[in-house]
Homo-oligomer: A and B are copies of this chain.
Amino acid sequence: MSRWEPNARGRLEQAALELYTERGYEQTTVAEIAKRAGLTERTFFRHFADKREVLFAGAASLEELLVATVAELPESASPIDAVTAALEAAAAAFGERRAHARKRQTVITANAVLKERELIKLASLSAALADTLRGRGVGEPAASLAAEVGVAVFKVAFERWIEETNQRDFSHLIRESLAELKAVTAGT
């Protein structure tokens, strides 16, 4: 029964974000998302478990990217170097998607259930990073702390990146937040 639908996944994500922005998340149904994308509900459910997961479709690939980046570094890289490399890879991957990221964050911030799901995503990112660092022989608590710090820098830089007045790119803000973090923990 399944037909090949060119970029069905991307079209459904785009349609969902448009409808959540126009009508609100709660008020939007899967049927409406599928219709807007010119696809069927069946196709929607081949790609996503429910209307919430459309907004978190990128979480698994972000996690894979961070883990792969850290896993490929030379053994000599320190935990903070590893986390820095992971964040730079993330910034490069987000690249020009700022308008999309802003819209998505606006939808998430307006809904308690989505905010919870976002927290779970970040906790999962942190756990995956810590796990990868331990796999490289980093001990505890260093591995968990480096991972938590990485996610904190990501979160803070991301929030600044999507601010309406911001002109700087994501990787610049990542580097700036990392430098600030070093200054803060050094007590200066």
- Which chain A residues have a beta carbon within 8 Å of chain B's beta carbons? 78-81, 115-116, 119-120, 123, 140-142, 144-146, 148-149, 152-153, 155-157, 159-160, 176-177, 180-188
Interface centre among A119, A157, A160, A184 (most CB of B within 10 A): A184
Oligomer copy total:
2
Residue among B120, B153, B186 making CB contact with A186, cutoff 8 Å: B186
- Given A148-B155, A149-B149, does the pair A180, B141 have CB atoms closer than 8 Å? yes
- Given A79-B184, A152-B152, A184-B149, A141-B116 contact (CB < 8 Å): no
* Chain B residues whose CB sits within 8 angstroms of the CB of A140 once the complex forms: 160
Return A152 CB to nearest CB of chain B, in Å: 3
Contact A145:B156 (CB < 8 A) given known A81-B187, A185-B182: yes
Contact call B181/A149, Cβ cutoff below 8 A? yes
Looking at A80, A116, A145, the one whose CB has the most chain B CB atoms below 10 A away is A145
- The reply to whether A177 and B145 form a contact with Cβ atoms under 8 Å apart is yes
A182 with B186: CB separation less than 8 A: yes
Q: What's the Cα separation between A108 and B32 when bound, in Å?
A: 37
A30 to B86, CA, bound (A): 46
Contact of B144 with A156 in the complex, beta carbons under 8 Å: yes
Cβ A145 vs Cβ B181 within 8 A: yes
Cβ–Cβ < 8 Å partners of A186 in chain B: 80, 182, 185-186
Q: Within the complex, which residue of B120, B123, B156, B182 is in contact with A148, where a contact is CB–CB below 8 Å?
A: B156
With both chains docked as a complex, state the minimum distance between the C-beta of A169 and any C-beta of chain B, in angstroms. Answer: 16
